[in-house]
């Protein structure tokens, strides 16, 4: 790292409060992240000295760009921005990329560089396989992109599916027909859908434009002009995975999500494990791996995921 002092001129005093935070709380967070760097703020000038002055200068430049684009800074997205700059990534490109504006008027955006790679891969490929721990937004972003594709008329329907790994004895004790029995397993997909579309989701489900079904219902079908999401794919068998992948018809897009550290199959082999070795040379198919840095739940979830990864190694 260069020790050359860096000066940042913030274009307008009105951006300074958003940049340093109330009572300089955001400035203090930057200082604690770069303890060997000295940061001096005078008016709309920021002078930076120390071994990591150049990187801190890049960080402030990115933060100013975010503010100019209407983004609000807080401790959470500042922490993510620091992580991105350390990896030579640009928060101003990642955090401002809108995927969908929900029915509540809230923007759905990637919150990490890994999430942006994932959403870009889904747009650019026929099949995208997202593998990563809980809380990385695999299912939520996939549903957002499915809704966006439906609204843009790129597809004529959305199909959400996942394996019901307890489809034997224990499910039999639940009341109702097969859909009522598998409903608890599909609930996370329902939640994401209703979060983005509210009442509109119910109408589209009644018309069959949005279909939510267990994986077993996919056998024997050819799925054309559809956006298909297979969630919790780590709980498919290799035979189920092959069956699902060979359902894909013309004009369709597929997203497969899973976490290979949470396989619930009783003694069986997961259809997600080893899949990359089988499919790695196929054009139009991408694997995206998300990690602890991409967890967007409470910070402690990121720490828990990292702890389990260290234990596994």
Architecture of domain 6-94: 2-Layer Sandwich (3.30)
3.40.140.10, 3.30.470.20, 3.40.50.300, 3.90.1150.10: CATH of 100-312: 3.40.50.300
Cβ(83)–Cβ(114) under 8 Å?
no
CA angle 207, 210, 211 (to 5 degrees): 100
pLDDT at 171: 47
Q: Where are the domains of the chain?
A: 6-94, 100-312
Cβ(241)–Cβ(265) under 8 Å?
no
pLDDT at 116: 94
Q: Among 91-100, 191-200, 230-239, 302-311, which stretch is predicted with the lowest mean pLDDT?
A: 302-311
The torsion defined by the Cα of 10, 15, 17 and 18, in degrees rounded to 10, comes to: -110
Distance CA 214, CA 256 (A): 14
Q: What is the pLDDT of residues 233-287, one digit of tens each?
A: 999 999 999 999 999 999 999 999 999 988 888 777 899 999 999 998 899 999 9
Nearest C-alpha neighbor of 49 from the set 2, 6, 93, 17: 6
Cβ(56)–Cβ(33) under 8 Å?
no
Q: What distances in angstroms separate CA 285 from CA 235, 242, 293, one per listed residue?
A: 21, 15, 24
Q: Is residue 184 scored above 90 in pLDDT?
A: no
pLDDT at 174: 52
Q: Among 108-117, 170-179, 292-301, which stretch is predicted with the lowest mean pLDDT?
A: 170-179
Q: Is residue 104 scored above 80 in pLDDT?
A: no
Q: Which helix (H) or strand (E) holds 157?
A: strand 157-162
Q: What is the mean pLDDT of the chain?
A: 87
pLDDT at 58: 96
Cβ partners under 8 Å of residue 215, min gap 6:
161, 162, 163, 164, 230, 236, 240, 244
Beta pairing, strands 107-108 & 127-131 = unpaired
Q: Which helix (H) or strand (E) holds 214?
A: strand 210-214
Q: What distances in angstroms separate CA 277 from CA 75, 271, 272, 274, one per listed residue?
A: 40, 12, 10, 6
Distance CA 176, CA 164 (A): 15
pLDDT at 313: 67
Cβ partners under 8 Å of residue 89, min gap 6:
113
Residue 24: how many CB atoms within 10 A of its CB? 14
Q: What is the pLDDT of residues 31-48, one digit of tens each?
A: 999 998 999 999 899 999
Model pTM score: 0.83
pLDDT at 180: 63
Q: What is the pLDDT of residues 220-248, one digit of tens each?
A: 888 999 999 999 999 999 999 999 999 99
């Amino acid at each position: 790292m260069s020790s050359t002092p860096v000066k940042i001129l913030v274009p307008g005093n009105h951006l300074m409060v958003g940049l340093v935070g109330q009572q300089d709380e955001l400035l203090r967070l930057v200082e604690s992240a770069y303890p060997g760097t000295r940061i001096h703020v005078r008016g709309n000038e920021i002078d930076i000295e120390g071994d990591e002055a150049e990187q801190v200068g890049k960080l402030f430049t990115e933060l100013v760009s975010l503010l100019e684009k209407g983004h609000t800074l807080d401790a959470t997205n500042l922490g993510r921005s620091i992580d991105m700059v350390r990896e030579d990534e640009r928060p101003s490109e990642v955090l401002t990329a809108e995927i969908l504006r929900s029915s509540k008027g809230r923007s759905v955006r990637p919150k990490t560089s890994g999430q942006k790679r994932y959403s870009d891969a889904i747009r650019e490929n026929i099949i995208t396989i997202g593998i990563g721990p809980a809380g990385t937004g695999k299912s939520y972003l996939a549903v957002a992109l499915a809704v966006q594709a439906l609204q843009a008329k790129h597809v004529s329907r959305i199909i959400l599916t996942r394996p019901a790994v307890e489809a034997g004895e224990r499910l039999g004790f639940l009341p109702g027909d097969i859909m009522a029995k598998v409903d608890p397993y599909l609930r996370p997909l329902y939640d994401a859908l209703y979060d983005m579309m509210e009442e509109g989701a119910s109408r589209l489900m009644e018309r069959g434009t949005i279909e939510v079904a267990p994986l077993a219902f996919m056998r024997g079908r050819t799925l054309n002009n559809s956006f298909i999401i297979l969630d919790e794919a780590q709980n498919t068998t290799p035979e189920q995975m092959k069956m699902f992948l060979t359902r894909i018809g013309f004009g369709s897009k597929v997203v497969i999500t899973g976490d290979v550290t949470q396989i619930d199959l009783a003694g069986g082999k997961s259809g997600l494990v080893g899949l990359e070795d089988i499919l790695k040379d196929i054009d139009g198919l991408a694997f995206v791996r998300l990690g602890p840095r991409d967890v967007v739940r409470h910070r402690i979830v990121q720490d828990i995921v990292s702890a389990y990864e260290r234990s596994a190694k």
